Chains A and B, each alone.
Chain A
Amino acid sequence: MTDLLLFQLRRVGRNRQYLFFTIVLPALFTVFFTKIIGGQVAAGEYQDVAGATMISMMAYGAIGAALGATIRIAFDRSSGWLRQLRVLPVPPAATLAVDVVVGALLVLPSLAVVALVGRFANDVQLGPGTWLALVGALEAGSVVFVGLGVAVGLALDAQAAGAAIGILGTVLAALGGLWFPVELFPDGMVGLAHAMPSYWYAQLGRDVAAGTPSAAPVLALACYGVVFAAATLAVAHRRPLHAVAG
């Protein structure tokens, strides 16, 4: 299946809009938010802000990459390509499996670029092992958003799916405290933030970076993962990959 995998990677990699929103924008935001928020705290806390912002932006870029790569399934359905694949010697399960792997792989460039910006532009200092653990944890956790994207991509038609990429990414980032930390939220909205998988995803990163791993983010993400996987199976059962759009 490596030929189909490379084929899909090339297609997504060619999409400039995708590259902008998943790599360039999170990288720019990392610098921008650090300057804004860091300018309002005491000088001794600036590096804490830089670290936290970098982790939030790694999460933001990864979520966008995972959703953007997988919700595209809706486009392949509406073009008839998924149906075409079904009458070619390609195992039906491989099509979906490839899209899941593509989603997970495309998270890595976002994570890596934002980490590099954090390290070299904002001078975030972590031990080599902690850097690896941070990227590894966020890569692993991104599977939750790959699952969400696959479910949404299977459920929606092309037009709605295009809108969903932007809306979901924005809602998860804004309400999950990725753009502005939850500490700045009014009391009423903190509960809402804690209901977002994006909050727990970033929290996983903060725990790993601080060297204080805890069970809560892992459990919360696992719950969301199960919910999204079940949703994917339910939608795929009702509306197989090769079903005609509309």
Chain B
Amino acid sequence: MIQDIPPTAIAAPAPERSVATVSEARIAAALTDAQVKVDSSFRGASIVLYGAVFNPEDTPTDVVVVVRGPDAPVRLVKKTRNTGVWLNSRPVLFEGAPGFYMTASTRPLSDISDFGQLRRLGVGVDHLRINAPEESRTVTRYGVRDVVVSRLGEDYLDWRRAVIRLREGAELYDTDPDGVEFVDRGLFRAEVKLPAVAPTGRYFAQVWLFQDGEPISVSNLTLTVEKVGIERDIFEFAHRRPWSYGVLCVLLAALTGWGASRLFRRT
């Protein structure tokens, strides 16, 4: 179970080199909106990613779209039953989990490329580098350094899967094996659905072109989700000057209560 901690996956290799050497096929993509504004009417957003595949050969290609939001570490508890009562375990901190992650592809990812390749590129929810650094320690054993021991032991995969499952439940993680749709020869589109709870920050979209299981071209895009208008002002105020904000909340509440009693006495 020790080896379950996936190797570095985020540090994606420089794909440009392989592009030139392997094939002439290329991919280009763009987003309908590079900026998502979160205001009081925000109920989530749907952005269309569209692009084109230039493929001079006849070898079939696959398109994989990966959108990754800013990292949002997560603390997880597991409920266990103790003498009839469900209690929370000690919380475990997981790092490296993006706050938003989706993949859309022309076929299931496992059909497009092999496990090792996907893991190396960090493509697919199973290949996210989510781990609990505080629960693991590196030791030297039999003269071999860097043996990672996890205190979560056998449960480790359950915990990791739970992070993904809970985020999928909140529509923050999504895997759509038919999400990339070809509208015309070489022209494709994919939809990026951001729920209302999507974290704010910079999002990175990678559009991969696979041929025979090898990534042959990639297009990188960025997308920002930011709070605007009064929402941002309130959020900033509450976090920058929390005490004044608290006093203001109380004054506002007391004033409303007072105002209401004045109003009702007259009528």
Q: Do A and B bind each other?
A: no
Write the residues of chain A forming the contact surface with B, with a CB cutoff of 8 angstroms.
none
| Chain B residues packing against A (C-beta within 8 Å) | none
